[in-house]
Amino acid sequence: MPRQRRRVVEPGDQHPGNGGHPLTVPLPEITPEGLFPDLEFQTRTVAGVVAREVGQGPTLLLLHGGTGSWTHWVRNIRALSQHFRLVLPDLPGMGESLDVPHDSDLDGYGEFLLAAVVGGLVPAGVPFLAAGFSYGGVMTAWLAARLPERVAGICLLAPGGFPPGSWSRPPLRPVPAGASDAETNAVHRRNLELMMIGDPKRIDDLTVAMQRRNHGMTRFKSRFLGYRDTLGPSLRQTRCPVLGLLPERDPLPQPDAASRAAYLERTAPRITCRIVPGASHWVAFEAPDDVNRLMIEFLGARGRRDKAGAFI
């Protein structure tokens, strides 16, 4: 008999088909192999940083957000891997990567990531591309400022690290002590609605399970760096082209996404900003088609240098 292909179940599959009800198939294991059984991943550990790799083409380093893991890119991996060799690390202090001191400042934290990057997380001596979501955007800009001869272009998706007074943090709820599984899932679902995903119908059981897993594996509280003026100083030193993708319905920017775009355009010498309609903070999840297209168009054109040797 012909071999039956295993159904690929990805977060958000229930939208819009079953109106927000639980998935009717068992949840897959939250691993690259469980979520993408038809793709070939490799897992490597460099300087304590655990990373997944998949795809072919120029190297694209994808840095997830705070209280996250590589799963923040779950709705982008398939499309981007057709154009780039994706490197998806768990950031230090999160997921499966090494622990870091809880009181690390930006440079101290960054050194753990830099050790992995220069230690072979990306191919040595070859330019690479990078993209970061939320707190990962802070670290992407930090890397670009420190490796100007290596980083050919970066993309910042709903980045953090803005000055005080220009952001508002939604009133997220902690999980009560002794909460049942159902109660725990309900808290995570509500927190996703408040901060990450604007359309509740996009939050299926698998998305809640990913959020619960990421929360449980987070040891470093990145909000102490992500909610400070940590992005601007790096962007002012960044020499490569930058794309900013700002979700229209992100609850963090104050007063709105347009003001955040204006700040970035004043701060970064070579930035292009795009506001993504209808999406909340986790823009790569809620608007994957727009995000994938914009990232492929922008990053796919990077890598060339001008006569002075600067990336264009």
pLDDT digits (tens, 9 = 90+) for 119-148: 999 999 999 999 999 999 999 999 999 999
| Domain assignment of residue 98, yes or no | yes
- Provide the CB-side half-sphere exposure for 130 (13 A, CA): 28
| Rounded CA separation 221/244 (Å) | 24
| Domain assignment of residue 194, yes or no | no
What pLDDT shows up at residue 310? 85
| Domain assignment of residue 215, yes or no | no
Looking at the predicted structure, is the pLDDT value of residue 24 above 80? no
pLDDT band at 25 (very low <50, low <70, confident <90, very high): low
| Rounded CA separation 3/304 (Å) | 45
What pLDDT shows up at residue 16? 33
Residue 259, domain extent: 32-172+220-300
Q: Is the C-alpha dihedral spanning 199, 294, 253, 133 positive or negative?
A: positive
232: domain CATH number is 3.40.50.1820
| Domain assignment of residue 17, yes or no | no
| Rounded CA separation 83/298 (Å) | 12
| Domain assignment of residue 12, yes or no | no
Q: CB–CB of 87/57 below 8 Å?
A: no
Looking at the predicted structure, is the pLDDT value of residue 3 above 50? no
| Domain assignment of residue 46, yes or no | yes
| Domain assignment of residue 312, yes or no | no
Q: Given the DSSP bridges, would you call strands 128-133 and 85-89 parallel, antiparallel or unpaired?
A: unpaired
What is the tens place of the pLDDT at every residue in 281-303?
999 999 999 999 999 999 999 98
| Domain assignment of residue 69, yes or no | yes
pLDDT band at 191 (very low <50, low <70, confident <90, very high): very high
Number of folded domains that form the chain: 1
Locus of tokens 């071999």? 3
